[in-house]
């Protein structure tokens, strides 16, 4: 059964990833386009051949089966909770919200209404990470450290990333990726967090974040990200017998051939990974889960909460200038 998807927000990510995939997939179609601006909603509806357009309220109260929430982060909780209470499944753009308490309210709404919510960290569905996990098992030896970096040149001053009320800042927009990747690599949750966040005084939002995560068995993740950087989207893993690194780990375009590098015995082996549409893979899995065609590949809701708890720990560590244990976050 083809799912009807309602779009919340005429965003850049919807233009670049959502609509190109909907033109190819047989699992879903656009059922409603919502925007704050009726004229913009109509323009997008005309462009993408969708009969229904209007406000956010009209989207969630329509007959769509699920909603793709591509609004700025600061608006995620309000419209995600409303959609869930209206009986819609939700694919919510990252980061899920701006606080752990907010994420709890979203997940509680999903569970109370027997609906699913998936945080759209689409990079995790790229097959390169499965290949890396196989290399960790067969080549790396004892996994010891993870190093994740993600940054790019400063956005323009009118970009929503600089707007505090919309959930702007590096942590919510960028650092969430290497944080999530470290959880995937270690296949568990960290024990403690130590962080430093540098704030832009013009906008009162974080412009760089540096983090040390302590994982069980004395494993460590080092993470660095920023808005005023040479573009980098990578991570590396150091083990007792080898080192593994990525060419491009997070924002991987669908036509991009990426690579994994295995550094072992003074030789570097490059393993190429064919181009894939990581957003499309994630979207189709979401559709198949909500229609119960497949089993859930992981617990969407619990994973969202674990990610949000870690993000909250980063904020507290920076604010209170101390090591924060994740067990403190309730």
CATH number at residue 22: 3.40.50.720
Q: Which of 91, 122, 153 is the last residue of a domain?
A: 122
Q: State if pTM tops 0.85.
A: yes
Q: Which of 96, 122, 148 is the last residue of a domain?
A: 122
- pLDDT of res. 145: 98
Q: Cα Rg for the chain, rounded, in angstroms?
A: 20
Q: Could you tell me the CATH number of the domain that includes residue 160?
A: 3.30.360.10
Instruction: Count other C-beta atoms under 10 Å from residue 327's C-beta.
Output: 10
Residue 61 lies in a domain: yes
95 and 175 share a domain?
no
The tally of domains found in the chain comes to: 2
20 and 136 share a domain?
no
Domain hosting 229: range is 123-281+308-328
Region 33-49: mean pLDDT is 97
Residue 1 confidence (pLDDT) above 90: no
| pLDDT tens, position by position, 314-323 | 999 999 999 9
- pLDDT of res. 196: 98
265 and 227 share a domain?
yes
């Amino acid at each position: 059964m083809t799912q009807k998807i309602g779009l919340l927000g005429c965003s850049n990510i919807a233009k670049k990833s959502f609509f190109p995939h909907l033109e190819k997939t047989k699992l879903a179609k656009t059922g409603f386009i919502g925007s704050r601006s009726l004229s913009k909603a109509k323009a997008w509806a005309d462009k993408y051949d969708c009969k229904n357009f209007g406000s956010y309220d009209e989207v969630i109260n329509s007959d769509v089966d699920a909603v793709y929430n591509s609004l700025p982060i600061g608006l995620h909780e309000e419209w995600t909770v409303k959609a869930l209470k209206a009986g819609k499944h939700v694919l919510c753009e990252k980061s899920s919200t701006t606080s752990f308490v907010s994420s709890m309210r979203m997940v509680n709404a999903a569970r109370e209404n027997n609906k699913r919510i998936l945080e759209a960290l689409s990079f995790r569905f790229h097959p390169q990470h499965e290949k890396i996990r196989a290399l960790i098992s067969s080549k790396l030896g004892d996994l010891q450290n993870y190093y994740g970096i993600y940054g790019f040149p400063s956005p323009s001053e009118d970009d929503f990333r600089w707007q505090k009320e919309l959930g702007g800042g590096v942590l919510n927009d960028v650092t969430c990726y290497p944080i999530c990747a470290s959880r995937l690599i270690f296949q568990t949750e960290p024990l403690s967090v130590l962080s430093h966040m540098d704030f832009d005084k013009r906008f009162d939002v974080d412009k760089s974040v540096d983090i040390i995560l302590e994982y069980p068995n004395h494993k460590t993740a080092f993470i660095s990200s920023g808005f005023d950087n040479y573009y980098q989207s990578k991570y590396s893993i150091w083990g007792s017998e080898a080192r593994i690194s990525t060419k491009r780990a997070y924002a991987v375009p669908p036509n991009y051939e990426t690579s994994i590098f295995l550094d072992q015995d003074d030789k570097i082996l490059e393993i190429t990974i064919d181009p894939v549409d990581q957003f499309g893979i994630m979207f189709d899995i979401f559709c198949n889960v909500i229609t119960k065609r497949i089993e859930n590949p992981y617990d969407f809701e619990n994973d969202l909460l674990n990610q949000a708890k870690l993000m909250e720990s980063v904020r507290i560590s920076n604010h209170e200038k101390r090591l924060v244990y994740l067990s403190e976050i309730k």
